[in-house]
Amino acid sequence: MQSANASAPPNAERSAPGSLNRSPWLEQLPQRAPMPALQGAQETDVTVVGAGIAGVATAFFLLRETAHRVVLLEANRVAHGASGFNAGQLVTYFERPICRLAEDFGIAKAVAGQRDVDAAWGLLDLILGESEFVEPTPRFVGHMGMFTLNHLTVHLQNNLMRKRGGLVREQIRISREAPFVADIPAEFAGLYELVPQERVQVLLETDDPRYLAVLSNRKGCMNSALICEHLIHYLAASYGPRFQCYEHSPVVRVELAAGKARALTPEGQLQSHRLVLCTNGFVGVELANADGPEIALPVMVEGTIGYMAGMLTEGSCKPGANSYLMSPRIGEGQAYYYTTRRPFAREGKLHTLTCIGGPDSPQPREQEYDRQAPYPPAALNKLNAHIAPVMGWPDGHTPRYDYLWHGLMGYTPNQVRMIGPNPRNATLLYNLGCNGVGLLPAIHGAWRVSQAIQGARIEPSMFDPA
């Protein structure tokens, strides 16, 4: 495990509790002048609202798969929302286990949804390859620590669904010393392996004796702000007059009719045949639907602020990502804390960036999220207290962080990404709701939205808007 006491690179600035929101991902962006804001009345074929990973990927697939003109509207600057203030992890799990999702949507839809998100690895590689993105996006096997029979039975049930649905199974190893080994139901035989306790701790990179089992699957790391910025330039160069991106153009009102949508910003308006919402921030946006019942945007997504911290060390080491369940029962209390380790370029030198995250807090519906708000000391104290035993820090040790940042996550009521046409007016489509793990689901959503706009036949899905 990365030592918390490792020295920082020369001339590195440090972040402290109460300091400004400082993201490592935005620091890597190239300096450029802001793009112009939308001015006056314009028209296009498809309007995409939000220039984070969901919106930029949606624009990519629309331009690639159709002949439509696409305009991307961003309230601030490209990737300066959730995509610039996230954990930067590539994972394919949902915040709710697929066995629980099956209770709501049925086994067939839950398995199909998992298969779709698993396939987003291929869509991501297509984007990276065609756009010639050369920055590192490391892939590896990551691990999750478990310590109760509840943890195991839920994830063994997931594995059983994966097996029956023809999906790749996750690897589950259980310590022979775990007191609940004899209580594991017989139906899960063959879906796990018993190993020495030392093996569990080696995989989880911790000496914390609480963790008695480990789940392993494919993970990765990516600077989603950097890929967004790269793709904006790629799309402009590749599709010329069919693509335009406007920054500092917050959409304050959307007006829908039959086959028409109009997005109004403080200085302009944009009319199109389709409008795709790819943003977590709906506070202050009015929506008028002249072709059906009222559509109330704010109730669709609950804002949650996630808190993260990062430490730089000199040199590069093997990338990785581990998570550690915290609540004895899945679905109750604090879900988990996580660590990631990746190569990180700073000041012309390669370093290792170790990130830690997990704490979150609700964003009041009546308040607009302030990305400039200082990092609250209470969030950092909570993070340090929970992760210290995992990291092996001595009592009272407070690490010195190079980066402290927070970001807004959007949670849908069922904690599943919302993708596709609104059933009350198909002129409006969605690719939104990160639900805590948004990068690969957002890329799947981008592809699915492009298919819907093409008129392709798409099977009903658990992602469909209600």
Residue 14 DSSP class: -
List Cβ neighbours of 455 (8 Å cut-off, separation of 6 or more): none
Alpha-carbon distance 90 to 218, whole Å? 9
Q: What's the confidence (pLDDT) of residue 5?
A: 32
Measure the CA–CA gap between 276 and 428, rounded to whole angstroms.
6
Instruction: Please give the domain boundaries of the chain with CATH numbers for all domains.
Output: 1-22+303-408 (no CATH), 32-137+222-301+412-466 (3.50.50.60), 143-218 (no CATH)
Query: Which of 288, 306, 401, 309 has the alpha carbon at shortest distance from 355?
Result: 309
**Residue 314 backbone dihedrals phi, psi, to 5 degrees:** -70, 145
Overall size of the chain counted in residues: 466
Q: How far apart are CA 100 and CA 121, in angstroms?
A: 24
The amino acid present at 203, given as its one-letter code, is L
Kindly state the DSSP code that residue 52 receives in the 8-state scheme.
S
* End-to-end C-alpha distance for the chain, whole angstroms: 44
> What totals of helices (H) and strands (E) does the chain contain, helices first?
10, 21
Three-state SS string over 326-372 comes to CCCCCCCCCCEEEEEEEEEEECCEEEEEEEEEEEEEECCCCCCCCCC
Helix (H, G, I), strand (E, B) or coil at 116: helix
User: Residue 193: helix, strand or coil by DSSP?
Assistant: strand
CA–CA gap between residue 92 and residue 286 (Å, rounded) = 33
Q: Residue 370 and residue 88: Cα distance in Å, rounded?
A: 20
pLDDT at 2: 36
Instruction: Kindly report the number of other CB atoms within 10 A of residue 125's CB atom.
Output: 12
> CA-based angle 53:300:306, to the nearest 5?
55
Residue 215's identity, in one-letter code, is L
Which of 369, 36, 87, 410 minimizes the C-alpha distance to 225?
87
Q: Which two tokens stand for residue 185?
A: 């139901």
Q: What is the mean pLDDT of each run of 10 residues along the chain (466 residues)?
A: 35 58 94 95 98 98 98 97 95 94 97 98 98 95 98 97 96 98 96 98 96 98 97 97 97 95 98 94 84 78 93 91 95 88 91 94 86 92 91 86 94 93 95 93 98 94 94
Amino acid making up residue 428:
L
Tell me the three state secondary structure of residue 226. Answer: helix
DSSP string, 122-188: HHHHHHHHHHT--S---EEEEEEEE-SHHHHHHHHHHHHHHHHHTPPPPEEEEETT-TTGGGS-GGG
Tokens 């400004």 locate to 20
Query: What pLDDT was estimated at residue 298?
Result: 59
Helix (H) or strand (E) holding 427: strand 425-432
d(C-alpha 442, C-alpha 176), whole Å: 39
Contact criterion met (CB below 8 Å) for 90 and 440:
yes
pTM: 0.94
Tell me how far CA of residue 190 lies from CA of 159, 194, 197, 340, in angstroms: 10, 10, 19, 30
